[in-house]
Amino acid sequence: MATSATPYGARPIGTTSAAGSFTGLVRHLPIITTYGTAIFNGDFVKLVASGTIEKDAGTATLASIGIFMGCSYTDPTSGQKTFSDQWPASNAATDAVAYVLDDPNVVFQMQADEAMNTTDRGLNCDVIQTAGSTSIGKSKNAIDGDSCAATLTLPLRIIDWVDGPKSLAPAGTTASDAYPDVIVKFNAASTFTASPHSYNNPTGL
């Protein structure tokens, strides 16, 4: 738990897959040269029609292929192979590859922007998108703690809270922590809405 607002994006911790334990395997997906938006470790990314990935900047909806864990590219200035937690906006590298955790059943933790209620468990919520940290390469996205609802279009499902020195207060009251670390997963698709994870969309992309 945390008593200060230090959001870190989506941090993978497990899976709901019946296949077994969480492996953390990533898929290597291309980033188009000079793509103009910075992407940080822990950001959501989406697959676009060109077959490359871009940052998924959605809040109340997502169309993600997964979580950006980092990338590699040949630096166009130095000619050196570079491995990084972040994609610098407008990088002219022509061989950039993103490392994307694309498991649609991944379980991850994110910090909420405010205290939450124990009755929020099992509800859906949206995302607060904030530019990441260029100094450490990490996302600053967070859970919108005020958005929790049974609304089927919201992209994330609240599973639980991360244990810590302060636990949640009794049911029906707010969390004793001002900025709880929340365990979430991608919400499921339904008859009325596309899945926030693109692998679960029958129409593709």
pLDDT in tens, the chain (205 residues): 567 899 999 999 998 876 666 788 899 999 999 999 999 999 999 999 999 999 999 999 999 999 999 999 999 999 999 999 999 999 999 999 999 999 999 999 999 999 888 889 899 999 999 999 999 999 999 999 999 999 989 999 999 888 754 546 555 566 668 899 999 999 986 545 667 778 777 666 6
d(CA 104, CA 98): 17
Domains of the chain by residue range: 24-101
Residue 9 in contact with residue 40, Cβ under 8 Å?
yes
Q: What is the pLDDT of residue 21?
A: 67
If one counts every other C-beta atom within 10 angstroms of the C-beta of residue 111, the result is 25
Give 92's contacts (C-beta < 8 A, 6+ positions apart): 33, 34, 76
User: What span, in angstroms and rounded, lies between the C-alpha atoms of 101 and 139?
Assistant: 15
> What pLDDT was estimated at residue 119?
86
Structure confidence at residue 24 (pLDDT): 80
With a CB cutoff of 8 Å and minimum separation 6, the contacts of 85 are 40, 41, 70, 136, 137, 138
pLDDT at 178 (0 to 100):
85
